[in-house]
Amino acid sequence: MKILMILTSHDTLGDTGRPTGFWLEEFAAPYYVFRDAGAEITLASPAGGQPPIDPASDADDAQTDATRRFKDDAAAQDALANTVALSTVSEDAFDAVFYPGGHGPLWDLAEDAHSTALIERFAAAGKPIGAVCHAPAVFKNPKGSDGRALIAGRMVTGFTNSEEKAVGLTKVVPFLVQDMLNANGGHYEKGEDWASFVVMDGNIVTGQNPASSGEAAHKLMALV
């Protein structure tokens, strides 16, 4: 069983001068779900190498069992520091793909041609595709075999407009995940803000927020 995890390489929060990147829990929780299930994991990012960790996700009050485990795991830290370039990976080498969130993907992965093509190939092959929190941004451009947006007519979730408002970034982000999913014809669903909420529709698994990371990974694994 081979799982591809794709992380952002974008490290700047719009024009604010503040740093961003991927959200540590959204990487660590799925990573250990996959690893504990015996999966072989490959980490990739648009630029390759060490992807930027959103500093807020590494703060003391953001730590979880999974992030603490990661901090004691030298092998996982080394793997993260040496992600492969996204342009070098192919769908046929993997059984599923998973995108951790954080604000970074709104700027790079949402528009990345390699990511878009990869998602379209995974979908065409009927292989599971997972994304959590802001990472459903990657569904902005992929199309299905019918030429429509890949998520058109599908149940999906992602970071809510109200959660974005709560963190004060509504006017900073290039687009709101909830609005984009709706605009692409997705049947957007949500749970309570900050509570775990995961939606599955066919081979697509989406999670609403950081708390949804582990559950989304478990549901993805059930499809592999």
pLDDT, block means (10 residues), the chain with 224 residues: 98 96 98 98 98 97 96 97 97 97 98 98 97 98 96 98 97 98 98 98 98 98 95
List the structure tokens of 149: 């947006």
Residues 122, 133: Cα–Cα separation, whole Å: 20
Between CA 120 and CA 122 the distance in angstroms is 6
**Residue type at 165 in one-letter notation:** K
Residue 87: what pLDDT? Answer: 97
Segments forming the whole domain that contains residue 210: 2-223
Supply the CATH number for residue 74's domain: 3.40.50.880
- The predicted pLDDT at position 144 comes to 96
> What pLDDT score does 14 carry?
93
Query: Can you tell me the distance from the alpha carbon of 87 to that of 127, in angstroms, rounded to the nearest whole number?
Result: 19
Q: Is the Cβ–Cβ distance between 210 and 101 less than 8 Å? A: yes
Predicted pLDDT at 217: 98
How many domains does the chain fold into?
A: 1
pLDDT value, residue 142: 98
What residues contact 195, with CB distance under 8 A and at least 6 apart?
208, 209, 211
Tokens (6 digits) for 124: 């065409």
User: Which pLDDT value is given to residue 224?
Assistant: 92
Res 167: pLDDT: 96
State the pLDDT at residue 42: 98
The reported pLDDT for the residue numbered 194 is: 97
The per-residue pLDDT for 115 is 98
- What letter does residue 195 receive in the DSSP assignment? S
- Angle, helix 24-36 to helix 213-223, in steps of 10 degrees: 40
